[in-house]
Amino acid sequence: TVLSAFADGVLRLTLNRPDKLNAFNEEMHLALRAELERAHQDPSVRAVLLTGAGRGFCAGQDLGDRDPRQSDGPPDLGRTIELFYNPLIRLIRGLEKPVVCAVNGAAAGAGANIAFACDITLAARSARFIQAFARIGLVPDSGGTWSLPRLLGEARAKALALTAEPLDAETAANWGLIWKAVDDAVLLDETAALAARLAAGPTKGLGLTKRAIQMAATNSLEEQLELERDLQREAGRSADYAEGVAAFLEKRKPGFTGR
Ligand code: LHQ
């Protein structure tokens, strides 16, 4: 349910239930989680690329997986969130390595919000983002109620979440919800090139940069200045900093190792 390929420091993960537009069942959740845990643990993984197989990126939860009509009494979706979606978002945000996302087609429900949880998200011009929850009586999850108002402001966040109107990739980029929209034909090449470039970079410093920017969501300026001091101290001790400065002074290309 998840295709995994590793090359040049990039772990490429492809959601692979194309008949269901890569909607999540338990098996796909567990497969994706295992891969992201590997990314956490394996120092040779220096960036992650997330995309989908076929014409969709991810249609959120597989609505046929557990039909509420067939269970006795109402289902406990809180359990599904706690067991599967929340750990996934924590893994993506907590990974101190760049996670780039190539949204190759429809991103609906949790599928959209997973794309917004990644660090750099590109989308095919034909892709659409849909807060589908409102169509079935649910609440945006996978961090959507956190990321949408932060990225868009309340007015656009509420309109998208309450109407479930599809948002095209170009508008998503213009609104700051994703990094950019690109032609369908070049999406994967462009995202892969970006992931490879990041993976060859000073990934220790990039990971600390990711952490710092995420902390800004809850820190005051004073707290953030202190965090920058601490992280710069750590980055300054890295082999990549020494290499970066040496390469600059010697007018050559740096060879970063992520340490
Ligand atoms: C699907 C799905 C799908 C199953 C397409 N499930 N089969 C958390 C906790 C617990 C429970 C509930 O949810 C959550 C979080 C959530 O993510 S809630 C939101 C769940 N997702 C949705 O409501 C989106 C449902 N899908 C759609 O609205 C459409 O499929 C979109 C707009 C994504 C794409 O539309 P089309 O391009 O017209 O494709 P399609 O609808 O024809 O879908 C193609 C096939 O994929 C089709 O199967 P079929 O056998 O008829 O070819 C769909 O049934 C299947 N599929 N999404 N979520």
d(CA 58, CA 13): 13
Q: Give the confidence band of 215 by pLDDT, cuts at 50, 70, 90.
A: very high
Q: Which amino acid is at 30?
A: L
- Is the predicted pLDDT of residue 67 greater than 80, yes or no? no
1 against 72, higher pLDDT = 1
Q: Which amino acid is at 13?
A: L
d(CA 88, CA 73): 27
Whole-number pLDDT of residue 66: 75
Count CB-CB contacts under 10 A for residue 51: 25
Q: From ligand 1's centre to the CA of 61, what distance in Å?
A: 8
**Phi, psi for residue 251 in degrees, rounded to 5:** 50, 50
Q: What is the arrangement of strands in the sheet containing 106-108, beginning at the earlier edge strand?
A: 56-58, 106-108, 128-130, 167-168
- Is the predicted pLDDT of residue 44 greater than 80, yes or no? yes
Find the helix or strand (DSSP H, E) in which 123 lies: strand 120-124
Above 0.95 for ipTM, yes or no? Answer: yes
Residue 164 CB–ligand 1 contact under 6 Å: no
- Is the predicted pLDDT of residue 151 greater than 90, yes or no? yes
Which residue is listed with tokens 């040049």? Answer: 8
pTM: 0.98
Of 3.40.50.150, 3.40.50.300, 3.90.226.10, 3.40.640.10, which CATH number belongs to 2-199? Answer: 3.90.226.10
- Cα dihedral value 162, 166, 168, 174, nearest 10: 0
Mutate to test the pocket of ligand 1, among 19, 22, 57, 63 (most ligand atoms within 8 A of CB): 63
203-249 in CATH: which number?
Answer: 1.10.12
Partnered with residue 5 across adjacent β-strands are: 12
Which residue is listed with tokens 């969709």? Answer: 56
The residue ranges of every structural domain in the chain are 2-199, 203-249
Within this chain, domains 2-199 and 203-249 share the same CATH topology: no
Closest CA to 51 of 127, 157, 160: 127
Residue 35 CB–ligand 1 contact under 6 Å: no
- Is the predicted pLDDT of residue 70 greater than 80, yes or no? no
| Of 48-57, 69-78, 198-207, 209-218, minimum mean pLDDT range | 69-78
- pLDDT tens digits, one per residue of 3-38: 999 999 999 999 999 999 999 999 999 999 999 999
